[in-house]
Amino acid sequence: MKNILALTISLILVLINGIIGHFFPPNGIDFTIILIPTITAIICFASENLNSILKSLSVSFLVIANDILIKLYSGGTHDLEGLEWIHFFMYCGILIGLIILSINVMKNKKENLYIKILSIITFPFLIYIYLQFFYQLGLGRKYPI
């Protein structure tokens, strides 16, 4: 029950950030650097008996969902400079989130070292694969404020 609650709260935070990004355009991008470590901490520490690979997959899915919401539904004009700001804040949040995830995974004594390393590598690898295909998602869209 705690696992579902942690995932639901994290998803609601991502959706709230998407709404904030739509109605108050630069704030959704700015909150990304706070949102990613927050959802990582919620998923890692509130769901104790969740597999570490599932934690990594959940955080990756939420980071990708936040990026899609910011790129497609945030207000303002999307150009290359704005895209780089989005990615800068996302990378900073991912770095902090990766540290939180690594600490949580390494403290788990129930899983072997191979699963721990695999779950730590999975998080940035999935984000990398996503960005290879959708790096310029939303580029050139104009939303009047």
Percent residues over pLDDT 90 in the chain: 66
Mean pLDDT, rounded, for 75-94: 85
User: What is the per-residue pLDDT for 145?
Assistant: 55
Question: pLDDT per residue over 109-122, tens digit each?
Answer: 888 999 999 999 99
Q: What is the DSSP string of 69-122?
A: HHHHHSSEE--HHHHHHHHHHHHHHHHHHHHHHHHHHHH-SSS-HHHHHHHHHH
User: How sure is the predictor about 19, in pLDDT bands with cuts at 50, 70 and 90?
Assistant: very high
| pLDDT at site 82 | 81
Distances (CA, A) of 28 to 14, 39, 40, 46, 123: 10, 15, 18, 25, 22
The DSSP H or E segment spanning 143 is strand 142-143
Q: The tokens of 25 are what?
A: 């355009």
Residue 3 has pLDDT above 90, yes or no: no
Q: What is the pLDDT of residue 95?
A: 97
Closest CA to 120 of 39, 67, 65, 57: 57
pLDDT confidence of residue 142: 63
Per the model's pLDDT, the better-predicted residue between 110 and 13 turns out to be 13
b/e code 97-116 from CB counts within 10 Å (16+ = b): bbebbbebbeeeeeeeeeeb
Q: How far apart are CA 102 and CA 106, in angstroms?
A: 6
Amino acid 56: pLDDT: 95
Residue appearing with tokens 């580029």: 139
Q: With 0-12 CB in 10 A as exposed, 13-18 as middle and 19+ as buried, what is 76?
A: middle
Read off the pLDDT band of 49 (50, 70, 90). confident
Residue 97: pLDDT above 70?
yes
